[in-house]
Amino acid sequence: MRLGAHGGARGALAALVAAAMLTVALPAAADGEAAPMDNRARAQQLFDSALADAEAGNLPSACPKFLASHEADPKASTLLNLASCYEKNGQTASAWGAFREAEVLARKVGRADWETNARSHAEMLERKLVRLTVQVPEPSRVPELVVARDGARLTVGEWGVAIPVDPGEHVITASAAGRVRWESRTTVSGASAAVAVPVLELLPVQEIAPTPSPSGPDVTAREPTSWWTPMRTTGAVVAGVGVVGLVTGAVLGLVAKGKYDDARARCADGSRGCPPGAVADSDSAYGMATGATVVFVVGAVAAAGGAALVLLSTPSSSSPASAARASAALVVGPGTVGVNGRW
């Protein structure tokens, strides 16, 4: 069987198909199956391009165009040309299926000659068919299993059935949720073949590695810091003691002054001199004033030292080791007042 072209005979069937193209559309239109005008124009252009490719011997380019033309505007004439293209290109299974479909379509439009020709070619090709069986054993039928041949999904009904395929390499794949995807490439040539889908392996559990701490192995050295470091806490305590000393010294000074002023008032009468009690009160006031001065000075130094510790101390870890290293003490001695510490 040869491919046909408009305007000339290129073989018995080709001439028959080309001559009949103008008559095929009429029965289709009568059945209400005529394609829209734009689809028919597209189909005609694809058909003409396919014929040109076939004349040039470029069958791999011609066959897809015949198929696209038939899908745009289904016609028995186009389908016969498509089947002939498949046959010449060695795609026996595709050619056999196209001839069988053309047989039915020719019968529908009342073309007995086309129907007979399509049937004879289909019967001849059927003896040459090779088949591929994709077997899916029961253990392999895991939930959500998807089996495909050459990218086309196979239904469950097709599992284990010897289906005609074109000679050449075919890719069988199987996939399922939570399973490792499986793929097999099988070349089918002069004899039929079978491929068995194995039990898909489970996907490995991904272990999430712990994120390393940016502080490194010594976690305790990078504990969250607090503004109230041991030094600042010590400084606040020392400053508090200093404030108490200032208040106490001021109060004692006021009391001493009042007592001294009272003693002087009793000694104002120079004719009688100072009463013994006034002299004692005066001495007592003097001693109290001295003590008030000392307490006031100590309080001032303590307050200043504590404030310095609070203001000048830098944030550090609040770990026990840091607390043990930080210490301070208020030291008061004869003629000296100070704050000793380490940090």
Contacts of 312 (CB under 8 A, 6+ apart): none
Q: Cα separation of 280 and 284, whole Å?
A: 6
Q: Give dist(CA 274, CA 268) in Å, integer.
A: 8
What average pLDDT does range 194-216 have in this prediction? Answer: 77
> Which token pair is 166?
């074109």
Of 47-56, 218-227, 314-323, minimum mean pLDDT range: 314-323
Amino acid making up residue 193: A
Closest of 121, 36, 26, 39 to residue 83, by C-alpha: 121
Query: Residue 196: what pLDDT?
Result: 96
Q: How much is the pLDDT for 321?
A: 45
pLDDT tens-digit profile of 41-93? 999 999 999 999 999 999 999 999 999 999 999 999 999 999 999 999 999 99
Report the C-alpha gap between 52 and 179 in whole angstroms.
Answer: 48
Least confident of 130-139, 160-169, 197-206, 304-313: 304-313
Residue corresponding to tokens 């210490």: 327
In this prediction, residue 329 carries a pLDDT of 53
Which band of pLDDT confidence, cut at 50, 70 and 90, is reported for residue 278?
low
Q: Running DSSP on this structure, what letter comes out for residue 305?
A: H
As a whole-number percent, the residues of the chain with pLDDT over 70 amount to 67
Each residue's pLDDT tens digit, 196-206: 999 999 999 87
For the cut 80, the answer to whether the pLDDT of residue 322 exceeds it is no
Mind listing the pLDDT tens digit for each residue in 94-153? 999 999 999 999 999 999 999 999 999 999 999 999 999 999 999 999 999 999 999 999
| Ranges 96-105, 173-182, 274-283, 323-332: which has the least confidence | 323-332
Residue 265 has pLDDT above 90, yes or no: no
- CA torsion angle for 275, 277, 280, 285 (degrees, to 10)? -100
As given in the structure block, the two tokens for residue 34 are 């005529």
Token pair in block for residue 117: 């020709």
CA distance linking residue 4 with residue 58, whole number of Å: 15
Task: Inform me whether the pLDDT recorded for 39 exceeds 80.
Answer: yes
Query: Tell me, what's the pLDDT at 339?
Result: 52
Residues 6+ apart with CB under 8 A from 191: 130
Residue range 157-162: mean pLDDT, rounded: 96
Instruction: Please check whether residue 327 is in contact with residue 342, taking contact to mean a CB–CB distance below 8 angstroms.
Output: yes
